Chains A and B, each alone.
Chain A
Amino acid sequence: MTAGTRPPRPAARRPRALRRFGRNRLSLLGAGLVALVLALALFGPLLAPYPAHVAGGIDTAARFQPPSAAHPFGTNELGQDVLSLTLAGARASVLAGFSVVLIGGTTGILIGGIAGFLGGWIDEILMRLTDLMLIVPNLILAMTVAAVLGPGFQNMVLALALGWWPGYARLLRGEVLAARERPHVTAARAMGASQARVLVRHILPDCVSPVIVKMSLDMGFAILMVAGLGFIGIGVRPPVPEWGTMLATARAYMPDMWWVAMAPGLAIFVAVFGFNLLGDGLRDSLDPRGGR
């Protein structure tokens, strides 16, 4: 910025937002849970009490042992320690959820940003496509694509991301339309800034807060969807521990060996709960007006 007339915009609001965030104990709990889940995603396999089981080792002598001091969540049908698998499973879930939100979010931001910025018939076409994609049931779309492409991490991420962008496109288009009319954007235009510079330097920074909030709330939802695909049997390939797949296997032995299902189910819940609390807190502190 050469003119130095930048009005107080979200950038200047952020320290206050941080203080507001810090005052809310629930948001802090959410941030703590998210930090825990991220740490597990990074170091989970190292923390597992039975690393051999994570690597695929089995212990048929110790099948279906109920919870005990040695195995707090029991052992599964292969005699593997359920806690170890669950700790290691954080990696697949978090990585998949993160990739889905990142790919879907970026695509949506591009589409919505272009539609809102250019307007006219491009806007019309892109937004009609967005409306249509919003109607297609997400889970069925993802299941279809994942089933046809075959199981595997990348295919699953691709399948979910395909239905993930429309929400971001709508959000970004609205934000861009609102930002376009603000005085600092008009001023930049009047000073002869190029289209691209106006978009990247002046409009998009105004749209950052709502996108961060949505991404944080979406992380929880994405982890749920990843686990759901795993539960149906179209997810990560079996040797890699994944929470949804673990639950699907556990269901087969459900009434009697109920403990096999507890750790992965609780793990999904805790991870999603953390991201939702965090996203909620971020929304309240970054955008006090916007309620759901």
Chain B
Amino acid sequence: MLRFLFRRLLMLGPVLVGLTAIMFVIARLLPGDPVGLAAGPNATLAERAALAQEFGLDRPVWDQYLSYVAGLARGDLGRSLMTRRPVAEDIAIYLPATLELVLAAMALAIALGLPLGLLTALWQNRWPDRLGQVLAIGAISMPRFFLGLLLQLVFAIWLMWLPLGGQLPVVTLPPPRVTGLVTLDAALAGDWATLGAACRHLALPALALSLSPLAAILRMMRASAIEVMAQDYVTAARALGLPRRKILIKTIGRNAVSATLTVIGLYFGWLLGGTVLVETVFDWPGLGLYATRAILSQDMMPVIGVALVTGLIFVAVNLAVDLAYGLIDPRVRYE
């Protein structure tokens, strides 16, 4: 198992280099005028040249790429033309908000998706199952940004139960920064009022983001539970007269979860790169908003940085999923 882990970690290096190469090719070889956009319409030619030189944009692309990769080894992701700050520092500010959102959404999706999937498998082809299937396909088909707008309209404007957007009320001071996740930091500081406010702000965007992973997890869990229920060991457990609850949770549930883990891992990665729309709707100060602003001003260093960081987390989560297989299913061997 340690060897498996070590080999997979060794592969991260080439993956990072490959990712930067792809992003560089796309970002640098396409036409565009990032310097002109950053310098502003009134900049003189000399000012623009100085800016290009300061950010190394006057050098050939392969040269820029090599120095970027060299910087990457030191954890340097380059500097943003837009904020004039190191990209790594910017990402450190915006990443926690996105992580918080994705974690909340995935927690919701898993907590509801797994049991619902198991239940609909039990009721296979009866009306609750059929209804669940239709609702799941509907949930996957719902555009997140439209759902976000609807949630805002109903819960924030008509019912006034929950806030419209943002991470905290404007008047609330954010809790001392430890992890960067506002809810966790508030809890660590023992500031329950702030924790409550943070949770209320988190609720709607997390709900909007969680619907399609929830549906995907439900469907996967149902499919694999149906497969597991046909296995001989489930029949054996029934014949032995084990309590139904125990069979459902221990025998069927546990065996069906391991197939569902893959979907969970994949969705975690997709959500990280797909929060853009939900963050836009709810003014959530995360990576998506940062990337959007950078993209619209053709400021490529932050874009490459965001793609790298989300790609890296995606790979890491899928590695964690592979390791989790072994914890849930002792028959899994790592080679």
Secondary structure of the B contact surface, majority rule: helix
Q: How large is the interface on A (under 10, 10 to 19, 20 to 34, 35 or more residues)?
A: 35 or more
A132 touches B298 (CB 8 A): no
Do A140 and B291 have beta carbons less than 8 Å apart? yes
Select one of A136, A162, A276, A291 contacting B307, CB under 8 A: A136
Q: Does B122 contact A (CB under 8 A)?
A: no
Contact residues, A171-226 vs B (CB, 8 A): 220, 224
A220, chain B: closest CB distance, angstroms: 6
B31, CB-defined interface residue at 8 Å: yes
Q: Is the CB of A140 within 8 A of B310?
A: yes
**How does the 8 Å CB contact mask read for A136-157 relative to B, with 1 for contact and 0 for none?**
1111110111011100000000
CB atoms of B153 and A147 under 8 A apart: no
B107 interface residue per 8 A CB criterion? no
Q: Are B18 and A132 in contact (CB under 8 A)?
A: yes
- Can you list 10 contacts pairing A with B, beta carbon distance less than 8 Å? A26-B133, A132-B22, A136-B307, A137-B272, A141-B26, A144-B300, A232-B280, A251-B281, A272-B143, A292-B223
Pick the contact of A132 from B15, B27, B153 — CB < 8 Å?
A: B15
Mark each residue of chain B from 199 to 217: 1 if its CB lies under 8 Å from any CB of chain A, else 0.
Answer: 0000000000000000010
B311–A135 contact, CB under 8 A? yes
The reply to whether the CB of A242 lies closer than 8 angstroms to some CB of chain B is no
Contact A137 B273 (CB under 8 A): yes
User: In the bound complex, how far is the Cα of B287 from the Cα of A140, in angstroms?
Assistant: 11
Contact B276–A269 (Cβ < 8 Å): no
Q: Is A228 an interface residue (CB 8 A)?
A: yes
Q: Are B18 and A273 in contact (CB under 8 A)?
A: no
Provide the bound-state CA to CA distance between A292 and B18, in Å. Answer: 30
Which of the residues A135, A141, A143, A145 comes within 8 Å of B15, measured between beta carbons?
A135
**B146 / chain A contacts, CB cutoff of 8 Å:** 247, 261, 265, 268-269
Instruction: Say yes or no: A280 contacts B19, CB within 8 Å.
Output: no
Contact A139 B274 (CB under 8 A): yes
Q: For A277, what are the chain B residues with a Cβ–Cβ distance below 8 Å?
A: 137
Interface membership of B149, Cβ < 8 A: yes
Interface string of B280-302 (1 = CB under 8 A from A): 11000000000110011010100
Question: Does A37 have its Cβ within 8 Å of any Cβ on chain B?
Answer: no
- CB-CB < 8 A to B224: which residues of A? 291
Contact between chains at B141 and A143 (CB < 8 Å): no
Chain B residues, Cβ within 8 Å of A255: 153, 157
Contact in complex: B30, A148 (CB < 8 Å)? yes
Q: Would you call A227 an interface residue if the criterion is a C-beta within 8 Å of the partner chain's C-beta atoms?
A: yes
Which residues on A sit within 8 Å (CB–CB) of B150?
Answer: 265
